């Protein structure tokens, strides 16, 4: 780890404000992408991190500051500047392991939320470090609940402008037939677990107000096609029930300044037997893609009733016996 000082001239307050962004959001974007820390006082900056990452960050910062003379910086311009500087070639050398582990705590209406155990803490840490995150594991491991907590934290600290919660509308092993009401009322039962987590953390009244204003959007996966989601925290829940085409469509909706969390349990797939689970498929396709995190939970991470842990373990043991006898 090294530190390097950078002085950006001229010392123009208007240009510095444009360069840093509201609440230093532009600096945070560079920090997140290159795994560096940036501190500043006025036009004096100190960049700390791995040597190659620090050099790249300083070069990009100088380029971006020069551009503030004629244009307003946006997340898109910062992204393109780093792309032009071949930042992607450097990312493979900047390991997440260089980021010192710390206890992450998220403050909500229902109190502080912390990860229980190493896996949940790592899951929270990965969400803060990456733009696309997968949380895969059995029921009761906190995959969706922790993702919703991170979304609320991002909204409250103005890292994002809205929260979008998505689920595939697939029935769990039964046909419900005709459902009365408009489209929102028809899909509402499928999205109830996401509402429950929101109500727990923000309260019923505030959630309903945010939904009315469009700050929180809850939608079925089918409604995502054709959209580009900028400055948003997007959660795809029950991803094991997506098809290969659906999950590809969802992942390519990600816009600038956005974070996506995909959660699912590949042991509880409700798709027709002839269709492959998109989640199962994407874990193989994207396993080596830089900038995407994967957190795998197991029976030890279950935080519901103790019997839930035993039930999950019993099914795992049974499945192993059946596979061994085949």
18-33 tens-digit pLDDT? 999 988 889 988 888 7
Say which residue, 187 or 154, is predicted with more confidence. 154
CA distance 211 to 15: 36
Please tell me the predicted confidence (pLDDT) of residue 326. 73
At 281 the pLDDT is 94
Coarse DSSP helix, strand, coil percentages of the chain, rounded to the nearest 5 percent? 50, 20, 35
- pTM given for the model: 0.71
Q: Indicate whether 206 pLDDT > 80.
A: yes
More confident site: 211 or 117: 211
In contact, 64 and 81? CB cutoff 8 Å: yes
| Domain definitions of the chain by residue range | 2-97, 106-325
Judge whether residue 83 has pLDDT over 90.
no
Query: Is there a contact between 127 and 261 (Cβ–Cβ < 8 Å)?
Result: yes
Residue 91 has pLDDT above 70, yes or no: no
Q: What pLDDT sits at residue 221?
A: 87
Q: What mean pLDDT comes out for the span 288-311?
A: 83
CATH architecture of 2-97: 2-Layer Sandwich (3.30)
Q: Which of 167, 232, 222, 163 is nearest to 198 (CA)?
A: 163
Q: Would you say 286 and 252 are in contact if contact means Cβ atoms under 8 Å apart?
A: no
C-alpha 145/C-alpha 157 separation (Å) is 19
Query: Is the per-residue pLDDT at 186 higher than 80?
Result: no
Two domains, one topology: 2-97 and 106-325 = no
CATH 3.40.50.300 describes domain 106-325 = yes
Mean per-residue pLDDT, 15-19: 94
Higher pLDDT, 194 or 171: 194
Higher per-residue pLDDT: 257 or 191: 257
């Amino acid at each position: 780890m090294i530190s390097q000082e950078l002085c950006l001239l001229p010392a123009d307050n208007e240009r510095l404000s444009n360069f840093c962004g509201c609440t230093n959001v532009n600096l945070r974007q560079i920090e997140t992408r290159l795994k560096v820390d940036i501190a500043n006082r006025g036009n004096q900056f100190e960049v700390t991190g791995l040597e190659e990452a620090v050099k790249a960050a300083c070069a990009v910062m100088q380029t971006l500051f020069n551009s503030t003379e004629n244009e307003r910086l946006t997340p898109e311009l910062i992204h393109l500047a780093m792309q032009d500087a071949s930042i992607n070639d450097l990312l493979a050398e900047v390991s997440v392991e260089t980021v010192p582990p710390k206890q992450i705590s998220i403050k909500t209406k229902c109190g502080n939320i912390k990860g229980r155990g190493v896996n949940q803490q790592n899951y929270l840490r990965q969400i803060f470090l990456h733009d696309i995150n997968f949380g895969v594991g059995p029921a009761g491991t906190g995959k969706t609940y922790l993702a919703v907590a991170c979304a609320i934290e991002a909204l409250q600290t103005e890292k994002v402008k809205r929260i979008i919660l998505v689920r595939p509308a697939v029935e769990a092993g039964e046909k419900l037939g005709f459902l009365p009401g408009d489209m929102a009322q028809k899909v509402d039962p499928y999205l109830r677990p996401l509402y429950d987590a929101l109500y727990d953390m923000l309260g019923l009244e505030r959630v309903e107000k945010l939904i009315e204003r469009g700050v929180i959007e809850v939608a079925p996966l089918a409604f995502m096609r054709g959209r580009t989601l900028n400055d948003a925290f997007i959660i795809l829940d029950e991803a094991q029930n997506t098809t290969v085409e659906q999950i590809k469509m969802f992942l390519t909706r990600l816009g600038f300044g956005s974070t996506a969390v995909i959660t699912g349990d590949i042991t509880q797939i409700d798709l027709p037997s002839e269709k492959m689970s998109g989640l199962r498929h994407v874990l193989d396709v994207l396993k080596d893609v830089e900038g995407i995190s994967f957190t795998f939970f197991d029976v030890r991470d279950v935080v519901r009733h103790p019997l839930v842990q035993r039930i999950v373990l019993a099914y795992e043991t049974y499945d192993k016996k059946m596979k061994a006898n085949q």
